A and B are shown apart, each in its own frame.
Chain A
Amino acid sequence: MIRKTIIITLGLILLVFSGLSFYKSRHLKEPVVIGPGVTQVKKLSEYFPAIKGSANDANVYVLEGAKKGGALLVLGGSHPEEPAARLTTWILTENATLEQGRIFVVNSANRSATTVTRPSGAYPASYTIKTDWGGQTFRMGDRWANPLDQWPDPEVYIHYPTRQNLAYMDIRNLNRTWPGRANGTLTEKTCYALVELIKKENVDIVIDLHEAELQYPVISTIVSHQKGLDVAAMASMVLSDEEFKMGMEKSPLELHGLSHREIGDHTNAVPLLFETPEPFLDATRGRTDEKLLLEGKDEFVVRAGKRGLLFEKIDEKGWPIDVRVGRHCSTILQVLDVWSQDHADKAVALRNVPKYDEVIKKGTGAFLRDPSKADPKLIYYE
């Protein structure tokens, strides 16, 4: 009996410590100090009340220019384990101003997925971006919504409305459940709410920010619906000529559930998806820690590159987070520049967003605002 009591007590200690760790990770607060460009902060449920109070009732930061123009929606956190995407939305919400048009920014498109990490992935629970005032910590997140918010998964995920068969866990993948379903799962309802936002706000362009492993062929590129090929091609050419190599790819017609396919098919908006390289996601990576996430250096991924197994270059410098965030910032600015030249009446003139060189020079942390010194009225939590 004494032996049994000792074993059960040890089990309870493990339960308490692991439970506390998971609870803290799920409930870590991420402040956003809204910048001078943000005129309203809405909730996603204002566009689709069925998700009110759910884990995915995300904040929608609205930036409005004095002059009328087009409307842009920027999605960060479709896959929260791709941190350059979310960090770019932080830069937008805390720094950007608008001269013309409107921008809607969602930092945590699949907020539920920010509250969990990949089972057996040995991911860090969080990561910290260094700043002059110390640092800001973010939840690590995963590719899929938290099973605590949507469970169980089906044997096979049948995409709505095409009935295409997809991997079972992708029913929790925000970039496989577009255009969403009003009476579907939480992830499907989230996509439905975002589509309602796009329709009700007459959004012209949707930018879905991502990162990719170097062993994945869709990398360092803009994936565009056929409606946006001209914009994507021109932005890709200018970026490759002036800042960094950037590709352009057409969204496959028969691959369903992805933002660059379904938003274009079901709304008037032009969807574009940006990918930057993230060695942390590569299957051949070494230790999966915060250092790898932020510095993007891994000797095993470099070795894979030497054997011709990668679709993007990597050397001992790796792919640091500032490079990846800088790429996203510059690509957004370039796409808007091209769009505004071609659509003067629907132009979007964005200011005070750093370009690639500036993010690398100053670091991502230079563009994060200190919540301890901010007016509490300006602080929102993701």
Chain B
Amino acid sequence: MIITILYYLLVAFVVFLMGWNLLKSKKWQEEVLYVIVLLPFLLRLLRLK
């Protein structure tokens, strides 16, 4: 259970980093890429997939 919680915290940290990079990015290609990569992380964080 402790390991599971740590993994969810890791996922949340990755979501934060990618979200931050998305906001700071200047290229539209990178922004699309960040959004696509964020989806599975968000789905896991929201316990949907």
Q: Which A positions have Cβ atoms within 8 angstroms of B?
A: 3-4, 7-8, 10-11, 14-15, 18-19, 22-23, 26, 116, 147-148, 151-152
Main secondary structure of the interface of B (DSSP, over half): helix
- Give the complex CA separation of A28 and B20 in angstroms: 36
CB distance from A244 to the nearest CB of B (A): 39
* CB pair B4 A152 closer than 8 Å: yes
4 closest Cβ pairs, A-B complex: A11-B35, A19-B48, A22-B49, A22-B48
* CB pair B32 A22 closer than 8 Å: no
Q: Which B positions have Cβ atoms within 8 angstroms of A?
A: 3-4, 7, 22-23, 25, 28, 31-32, 35-36, 38-39, 42-44, 46-49
Residue of A18, A23, A148 near B39 (CB, 8 A) is A18
- Give the complex CA separation of A96 and B35 in angstroms: 52
Which residues from B are CB-within-8-Å of A26?
48
Q: Chain A: which residue is nearest B25 at the CB level?
A: A4
Residue of A7, A22, A151 near B35 (CB, 8 A) is A7
Which residues from B are CB-within-8-Å of A151?
4, 7
* CB pair A8 B7 closer than 8 Å: no
| Contacts A18-B49, A23-B48; A7 near B32 (Cβ below 8 A) | yes
Not counting A4-B25, A11-B38, A151-B4, a sample of 5 additional A-B residue pairs whose C-beta atoms are within 8 angstroms of each other reads A11-B39, A14-B39, A22-B48, A23-B48, A26-B48
CB distance from A156 to the nearest CB of B (A): 15
